[in-house]
Structure 1
Amino acid sequence: MKLTEKQQLVLHELRKIGRKNAHLYRETQPYLHQKDCEKLALGDQACVFGMGGLTFQVAHRLGVSAPSVLSIFKALRRKGLVIREESYPDYQRARYWWPVGLAAELHAELQAAERVTP
C-alpha cells in the first residue's frame, strides 16, 4: 500500500509510542507490565486505550500541528492501518490511536524476550 511521506512518519511515530508503552513498566512495575502483556494477547482493540498514542502526542513529537496529524490518522484509518479508541463515544476527550497488527507483533516479541530472560 502506498503511503505519503507524512503518513509514513505518523504511522512510524505511533508504532514507536505503542512499543514504548508496551515496555514501559517492565523493570519498575512488573504487575503493570503483565497487565499490558495481557492486553497485547487480546489484540489491537484491547491495546488502543491507554497503550495507544494521542493525536497531540504524535504531533508534538513530530513538530507538526495536531489537526494535521488527525487528518493523517483519519486517512490511515480508511486504509485499515490504524484504529481509534471508541469505547466512550459520547465522552468529549482526546482519543487514542493504535497501529493495526502491532499487538500481535509486540506480544510475540515480549514472549520471546521472557523466554530468553532467566
Structure 2
Amino acid sequence: MKLTEKQQLVLDELRKIGRKNAHLYRDSQSYLHQKDCEKLALGDQACVFGMGGFTFQVGHRLGVSAPSVLSIFKALQRKGLVIREESYPDYQRARYWWPVGLAAELYAEVQTENRGTP
C-alpha cells in the first residue's frame, strides 16, 4: 500500500511508541511488564488503551501539530493501518492509537527475549 512520506513518518513513530511501551517495565516492574505481555497476546485491540500513542505525543516527537497528526491517523485508519481506542466514547480525553499488527510482532519479540532470560 502506498503511503505519503508524512503518513509513513507518523506510522513509524507510532510503532516506536508502541514498542517502547511494550518494553517499558521489563527490567523495573516485572508484574507490569507481564500485564503488558498479556495484552500483547490478546492482540491489537487489547493494546490500544495504555500502550498506544497519542496524537500530541507523535506530533511532539516529529515537530508536527497534533491536528495534523490526527488527520494523518484518520487517513491511516481508513487504510486499515491503525486503530483508535474507543472504549469510553462519552469521556472527553485524548484517545490512544495503535498500529495494526504490532501486537503479534511485539509478542513474538517479547517471548523470544523472555526465553533467553535466565
* TM class, shorter-length: over 0.9
Structure-2 separation of matches of 1:111 and 1:64: 35
Secondary structure at the counterpart of residue 53 of structure 1: coil
TM-fit CA distance, 1:76: 0.1
Equivalent residue letter for 2:90: D
Q: Could you say what the CA RMSD is over the residues aligned between the two structures, in angstroms?
A: 0.4
Equivalent residue letter for 1:64: V
Structure-1 separation of matches of 2:114 and 2:69: 35
In structure 1, the partner of 2:114 is 114
Matched, 1:61 2:68: no
Q: Which runs of 4+ in 1 moved over 4 A?
A: none
Structure 2 unaligned regions, length at least 5: none
Structure 1 unaligned regions, length at least 5: none
In structure 1, the partner of 2:49 is 49
Equivalent residue letter for 2:22: A
Matched, 1:103 2:106: no
1:52-91 correspondence runs (5 A): 52-91=52-91
TM-fit CA distance, 1:117: 1.5
Alignment identity in percent?
89
Secondary structure at the counterpart of residue 98 of structure 1: strand
Structure-2 separation of matches of 1:25 and 1:92: 28
Q: How many residues align?
A: 118
